[in-house]
Amino acid sequence: MELQFYGATERVTGSCHVVRCAGKTILLDCGLIQGLAAEEALNREPFPFDPRDIDAVVLSHGHIDHSGRLPLLCRQGFSGPVFTQHATRDLALILLQDAARLEEYDVLRENRERRKRGEEPLEPLYTNEDVVEVINRMQTLPYDVRQEILPGIELRFQDAGHILGSAITELWLTENSETRKLVYSGDLGQYDSPVLNDPSSVSEADAVLVESTYGDRLHRERAETLREIGEIISSAARGGGNIIIPAFAIGRSQELLYLFGKYGDAWGLDEWQIYLDSPMAIEASRIYWDYPELYDSEARLMRDRLLEMPRPDNLHFTRRAEESKKINDIEQGAIIIAGSGMCNGGRILYHLKRHVERPESHVMITGYQAEGTLGRRLVEGNEVVEIHGRMYRVAAAVHTVGGLSAHGDQHDLLRWANGFDTRPAMYVVHGEDAPKRALAALLAESCGVRAEVPAPGEKVDLLASRKG
């Protein structure tokens, strides 16, 4: 009975871990590696295991850094079920289809350059047909239902509060009459964030995998975050510019719309036109509205009263590329929400090209920016950035609104980890090196547990783990 660590051990993205028990092999997530070009090239490297040996996948949530290589896994021989939460299946369909479309587009563009250099063309990592294969393999479970998924292996999902359908994974593993419980946090949301519930508490485990995206820092308090957003809107109104918001299509975009609907009067949004410029975010918003049973009590109450989630009257959904292009004719008074959230592709790049050199415009960063992405360079204050092969001087005001992150901060992570009545061994993953090591040290100190930062490929004997 063993746990082996692969993806998200050297970086934040590419989550992927292997569990072996009673002759069966399970994969926890199978995410895409994102960031620098050299890192993204790793997606084309062979898996460090044979996909044909995987009996089942357990998917914590739909974000591409957790789900994005599932179609490739199927393409290379995986033929088992993928267990996930109901809402995650719906969201994964649109996320993976978008990833396949972008992959085919990027390969087409790359192959034009390769032909000029006389190099062999690339094949896409996967296609939409591979995505359909993955979705058809998904078997869904609600939260808080314990079910045997393979002989000797039981699974239960708990709400992780990160995005709709995000799950904390509980696995009961039995081999030779010995049972151990493994818990995988997936991505944990903030406590007291809007729309979704707080991360569920788990009281017992023998071993825990915990994420560490913000393991070394704290978010701004919610009240301060709301005040900051209001100040950004007021400043942009006075300066006569637009507000550009790179936002993840799943989670962040829906939370922004909820806040704009709730605080529209206080923030003077009736003077603005708001554009959700992302077909994927529009479709994801529809899915969000279809799952009111997964909201927190305040959001459920507001939806029951309004028959939908609150949203401003001056909100425009721009699905077609032609509509998106017209937005850039607007000189002032527009709030533009577009993907991708890390500015490493999508429509946001065209809006940044139009506005990043305008001192009257504002760029509002609302989530984690991986190393090597354009979003990270903006956050770090680079005076010049490259977009589509051209250099642009950054004159727009760039704001980092950390309080809107879908990831819990250090206090949130410690709060969740301290919910265990037992003293499980903890393995810190899904973070850059400094956050991982900072969180591991604090877990050892505050929880009184053995906390380690595993190396890629490292194995842990789960039978050696016992409850404290």
The mean pLDDT of the chain is 92
Question: Which distant-in-sequence residues (6+ apart) come within 8 Å of 257 by Cβ?
Answer: 276, 285, 309, 311, 312, 315, 337
Is the CB of residue 370 less than 8 Å from the CB of residue 335? no
pLDDT for 317-340, tens place per residue?
999 999 999 998 999 999 999 988
pLDDT at 310 over 80: no
Is the CB of residue 362 less than 8 Å from the CB of residue 396? yes
Residue 372: closest CA among 432, 429, 428, 430: 432
Q: Quote the percentage of the chain above a pLDDT of 70.
A: 97
Give the pairing type, strands 425-429 and 451-452: parallel
pLDDT at 308 over 70: no
pLDDT at 398 over 90: yes
Three-state DSSP state, 306:
helix
Q: How confident is the model at residue 467 (pLDDT cuts 50, 70, 90)?
A: very low
The reported pLDDT for the residue numbered 334 is 97
pLDDT for 270-296, tens place per residue?
999 999 998 888 898 889 888 989 988
- d(CA 173, CA 153) in angstroms, rounded, equals 5
Q: What tokens were used for 125?
A: 């990592």
pLDDT at 56 over 80: yes
- Give the helix/strand (H/E) hosting 353: helix 348-355
Q: Quote the percentage of the chain above a pLDDT of 90.
A: 72
Is the CB of residue 190 less than 8 Å from the CB of residue 407? yes
pLDDT at 215 over 60: yes
The reported pLDDT for the residue numbered 468 is 43
Three-state DSSP state, 414:
helix
Task: State the residue for tokens 């509002």.
Answer: 364
Helices and strands, number each (H, E), in the chain:
14, 22
Report in angstroms the alpha-carbon separations of 315 from 257, 269, 272, 348: 9, 10, 9, 17
pLDDT for 148-185, tens place per residue?
999 999 999 999 999 999 999 999 999 999 999 999 99
Is the CB of residue 337 less than 8 Å from the CB of residue 281? yes
pLDDT at 311 over 70: no
pLDDT for 360-372, tens place per residue?
999 999 888 878 8
Report in angstroms the alpha-carbon separations of 419 from 182, 202, 205, 450: 15, 6, 11, 16
Three-state DSSP state, 182:
strand
Average pLDDT over every residue of 191-216:
94
pLDDT at 465 over 70: no
| Burial classification of residue 337, based on how many CB atoms lie within 10 Å of its CB (0-12 exposed, 13-18 middle, 19 or more buried) | buried
- Of 97-111, 116-130, 426-440, the poorest mean pLDDT is in 97-111
* Helix/strand/coil (H/E/C) assignment for every residue in 191-259: CCCCCECCCCCCCCCCEEEEECCCCCCCCCCHHHHHHHHHHHHHHHHHHCCCEEEECCCCCHHHHHHHH
The reported pLDDT for the residue numbered 130 is 95
Is the peptide bond prior to 15 cis by the omega test (within 30 degrees of 0)? no
- Give the helix/strand (H/E) hosting 96: helix 86-116
- d(CA 348, CA 193) in angstroms, rounded, equals 25
- Give the helix/strand (H/E) hosting 397: strand 397-400
